[in-house]
Amino acid sequence: MGMREKLDDKIKRKEQEIIEFEAKIREARVYIQALQEAGKLLPREEARSGKAETMLRPGGSAHKAFVALREAGKPLHIKDIMKAIGIPNNKTNRISLGGTLARYSRNNEIFKRTAPNTFALIEAGGEEPPEDFGVAVESRNEWVGEEEAR
């Protein structure tokens, strides 16, 4: 085997080594990505520690709503919250902010819903929604059961 063949052989082995290392790097990146995705599914540590304000991104609309509700000390309608935090009152903004606050409310985090489109802070206590909250009010036709029809 000549010198050139020995060099070619060494080059091929190193190229194979590089291919193997690149495969290991890809596997490690996939593993890291899977861990990051799994971490997103876990509840935030701040939620357990009771630090509601630290869960919210400073400067975000939910944080501004938190500050406005804390300053008001009572439940506010979404329009009043928007006015307090300086967001223009239009349908898009109402839906966006209302949806954000509703998500926290559904998860029992930071905000609670006290009436339709009315929110308060969980830490503030306050009114609970009425028992018929969310039930459509209609003229109800009483259903006559079989026993009453006889």
Tell me the pLDDT tens digit for each residue of 12-63: 999 999 999 999 999 999 999 988 888 877 766 554 455 666 678 888 888 9
Residue 119 near residue 101 (C-beta atoms within 8 A): yes
In the DSSP assignment, the letter for residue 122 is G
Give the closest residue to 100 by CA, choosing from 115, 124, 119.
119
- pTM reported for the whole predicted model: 0.50
